[in-house]
Structure 1
Amino acid sequence: MKHTRIDISEFIERREKLMAQMPENSVALIPANKEVTRSRDTEFLFCQDKDFYYLTGFHEPDALLVLVKTFECETILFCRDKDPLQEVWHGRRVGAEKAQQDFKVDHAYTLDELEQVLPMYINGRDAILFAQGLQEEFDRLVFACLDVLRNGAKQGFSAPTTTIDIRPMISEMRLIKSDAEIAVMREANIISGNAHSRAMRFTEHGTFEYQVEAEILHEFAFNGARAAAYGSIIGGGENATILHYTDNDEVLIDEELLLIDAGAELSGYAADITRTFPVNGKFSEEQAALYQVVLDAQIAAIETIKPGSNFSLANIAAEKVLTEGLLKLGILSGDIDTLIEQRACKKYFIHGLGHWLGLDVHDVGDYQMDENKQQLRSFEPGMVMTIEPGLYIDGEADVEHKWQGLGIRIEDNILVTADGYENLTVNAPKTISDIEAMMANKKN
């Protein structure tokens, strides 16, 4: 199965855009991630540093991108050397020569040349830009290079006198998605939505949470998304009231709900979808009533999304519906206007309404919070976010017994368009009737 791929020309444009923002006579250093040991001599599945990947498309560990801005701009890549012995054990490497050709950088060097060559690109620059504190080993490398230059005045060396955090620049760029990025995220949503549908058809009394997780991960991998974007949450019954429940090891019970928060990662980009449905395929009266409150709140929040709107306005819409619904069901009591003003629904809606989405599931980008923690950043075309209201009433809550142990969240991925929004999560059933219809076709 072929998927949308981002052309190398877009990575070049990103580097050029970043260099245009850099001060004159400066150098930027963006490192790749290192492999992480899982146990002894086995490693976790490698995940590239997202800023490095955003600027290069290069997927090998230990690499380094250097951007130099003087009277002309240069891009330099350091990467692992070709090594037949290592490659026969661990897989092929690109190597410096091919990396220069394939990833369209001006110069490429092996990592063996790093300590000798890197100081020469930093020498004489007025400012150095990097993400200090992100990788301790990389920080030590940078400071060692700076010491070489500071101690080399007699040789005509000089070190930058200004240090700038490069992350805010890249984060702002990543916040607005290109057409190619949006196409990849649409595909990640389709794969993830199919996985949620598959889970609905598979689930029944007596299956285990981990078996449902296996169905989801199979759907991801079989369709080209080898990894989940995050640890899948498969919470049956009261486990659904634990926001980041990932044990996924308990049996599913006939009359309980199952909350699944799972999304695929495709070509580095994340989907993040949550669905909640009855294990036996049929909502009880109480489950349906509470579920509809959450769904109505999600719809109200999504309808606010357009250029110039913001998360704060979406929150106001969602919380109004949640509060009205909880009052109508008798879970809250009091005057509706007072309850809305006091944000009484937050007793059961205990997380934020949504977050930016992209190369990271909780993607980078400033929310522009005010002193009251209201997220006031105006939406712009190309932003992608989650909208995910939920209600969580644990087994000890001071409510009628019929509401205890219910956890419900509904989450879609929303793109801001020029005149409104596009819901990327189009194929994962979320109305009561659609869910029940899907589950009537179990295991088909």
Structure 2
Amino acid sequence: MTVNLKEFQHRRALLLRQMGAGIAIIPTAAEAIRNRDSHYPYRFDSYFYYLTGFAEPESVLILIGGDVTKNEPPKSILFCRDKDIEREIWDGFRYGPEAAQTQFGFDEAYTIQQLDVLMPELIGNQAQLFYSLGADQHWDARVTGWLNIVKNKARMGISAPQSILDVRQLIDTQRLIKTPFEIDLMRRSANIAASAHNRAMRFVADNLAKATLMEYAVEAEFLHEFYRHGAQAPAYTSIVAGGANACTLHYNANNAELKKGDLLLIDAGCELDGYASDITRTFPVSGKFSAPQRDLYELVLNAQLAAIEAVNPGNHWNTPHEVALNVLVQGLIDFKLCKGSLEEVLESGSYRQFYMHRTGHWLGLDVHDAGEYKDNKGDWAILEAGHTLTVEPGCYVRPAENVPEHFWNIGIRIEDDVLVTASGNEVLTKNAIKTVADIEAHMAHGAPEMRLAS
């Protein structure tokens, strides 16, 4: 994992300034049992990692606001697993408190076994507690136990926090604006995922003559490309959906045979040092679009390009969606899939038969990243430089009496990752091929392998 010590220290300092007085408790994720004595691959909690850069399980971050009247500066404390050579033989390297404190820049560090002993003392006489109540029942019970211990010391002059505030709301505000360090990681993650999508197109073209080509074989190509370029995992369960399967938005069985006349929709991204990429491309299994496929594909592409053009600082979050929707709906009317004027179709919502989701989401440490889409007045968030989001319109045509048969079972989505810049935007996933001409040429002849920055 890439750890920039100053970056994580700055994030903690910013949160401490937002907190003022009080204490914050941010635990990482627990390990999860897959079956019997087998675990799922461990993935840290994004909020915890955002503030620490520390990827080990069984860890908790404690932040304590300073007290100017007592000349006490703010403090960051890590609780983590002890250094245990015997366990390292079985499970691999662990830092231990001493090394973790030094290498990750904490003021203090203790073993996780000391947590229940020290926490009541740390919570005592703090004005506010910053904790995400309701996010994890296990931690809710544990924190409640510490608070009860403190309350029982009232006669000793020790008071419990008077209020509990959601620490994640404060962190969400920070996480929305990406720093240069984060943007660099997201560019690298996007380049790896783009390379995987281009590889998948060539793989399908090169293996078309085989007796059978399965969706999962294409997924394997993605995983190969992700891992060989240093990504630690897929960012989410990949969707590899041929033909009618593409009309199921969250299809992930990935076990059907690909057919030459069908389109193949692939929604897949990787995670690099915690940061997600998220790309969707749709292309013809045969390497050539049919006329109906081309018509709908170019409609979705035009909607996407118009929406990306609307990703600018000062526009509100919903602007790209509104722009994409207008283009899509007009196209659906032109192709006789919807009836009425643009205003009538938008008002009735009849377009939702073919386009039923929104056009994007925040992107970062989580593929659906932290951050609100509206403010506390109900107004859409305003796009700012440093925001990262996806732009992903689609069109999904299932067989129906009101649908011309030549459009049946066509599912198309085109998705890119976009950074809002000071003067406009940057498409982080621009290396993933997406025009009709480029897709057909790439599948026919291939292209030089993309060199990825280390």
Band the TM-score falls in, shorter-chain normalisation: over 0.9
Distance 2:401 2:249 in 1: 16
Q: Cα offset for 1:328? A: 1.4
- Quick one: structure 1 residues 81 and 366, their matched pair in 2 at CA, closer, same or farther if it must change by over 3 Å? same
Number of aligned residue pairs: give it: 438
Tell me which residue corresponds to 1:13. Answer: 10
* 2:46 is the alignment partner of 1:46: no
SS at match of 1:259: strand
- Quick one: structure 1 residues 333 and 220, their matched pair in 2 at CA, closer, same or farther if it must change by over 3 Å? same
User: For 1:60-107, what per-residue CA distance to the aligned partner results, in whole angstroms no more than 9, with x for missing partners?
Assistant: 011000000132201000000011221110111100000110111110
- Quick one: structure 1 residues 395 and 425, their matched pair in 2 at CA, closer, same or farther if it must change by over 3 Å? same
Distance 1:172 1:164 in 2: 14
Tell me which residue corresponds to 1:242. Answer: 248
Q: Cα offset for 1:134? A: 1.4
Q: Cα offset for 1:368? A: 0.5
Percent identity (aligned): 44
Q: Cα offset for 1:414? A: 0.5
Distance 2:262 2:255 in 1: 16
8 Å contact 1:273–1:425 — kept in the other structure? Answer: yes
Tell me which residue corresponds to 1:153. Answer: 154
- Quick one: structure 1 residues 210 and 427, their matched pair in 2 at CA, closer, same or farther if it must change by over 3 Å? same
Tell me which residue corresponds to 1:436. Answer: 440
SS at match of 1:258: strand
SS at match of 2:77: strand
Distance 2:321 2:401 in 1: 24
Q: Partner letter of residue 42 of structure 2?
A: F
- Quick one: structure 1 residues 370 and 169, their matched pair in 2 at CA, closer, same or farther if it must change by over 3 Å? closer
Tell me which residue corresponds to 2:260. Answer: 254
Matches within 5 A, 1:172-187: 172-187=173-188
Q: Cα offset for 1:48? A: 0.5
Q: Cα offset for 1:6? A: 4.6
Matches within 5 A, 1:33-112: 33-71=29-67, 72-112=73-113
- Runs (5+) with no aligned partner, structure 2: 68-72, 449-454
* 2:227 is the alignment partner of 1:221: yes
Matches within 5 A, 1:286-325: 286-325=292-331
User: For 1:143-180, what per-residue CA distance to the aligned partner results, in whole angstroms no more than 9, with x for missing partners?
Assistant: 11111111123444321121111111000100000011
Distance 1:251 1:152 in 2: 67
Q: Cα offset for 1:332? A: 1.6
Distance 1:246 1:266 in 2: 22
- Quick one: structure 1 residues 397 and 267, their matched pair in 2 at CA, closer, same or farther if it must change by over 3 Å? farther
| TM-score in terms of structure 1 length | 0.96
Distance 1:192 1:405 in 2: 26
User: For 1:244-287, what per-residue CA distance to the aligned partner results, in whole angstroms no more than 9, with x for missing partners?
Assistant: 10100000000100000000100100000000000010000000
Which stretch of the first structure deviates more once superposed, 280-289 or 111-120?
Answer: 111-120
Q: Cα offset for 1:117? A: 1.1
Distance 1:86 1:381 in 2: 45
Q: Partner letter of residue 59 of structure 1?
A: A
Tell me which residue corresponds to 2:398. Answer: 394
Tell me which residue corresponds to 1:385. Answer: 389
Distance 2:254 2:317 in 1: 31
Distance 1:397 1:159 in 2: 65
Q: Partner letter of residue 309 of structure 2?
A: E
Tell me which residue corresponds to 2:285. Answer: 279
Q: Cα offset for 1:344? A: 3.6
8 Å contact 1:122–1:159 — kept in the other structure? Answer: yes
Q: Cα offset for 1:340? A: 3.7
- Runs (5+) with no aligned partner, structure 1: none
Which stretch of the first structure deviates more once superposed, 179-188 or 321-330?
Answer: 321-330
RMSD across aligned C-alpha pairs, in angstroms?
1.7
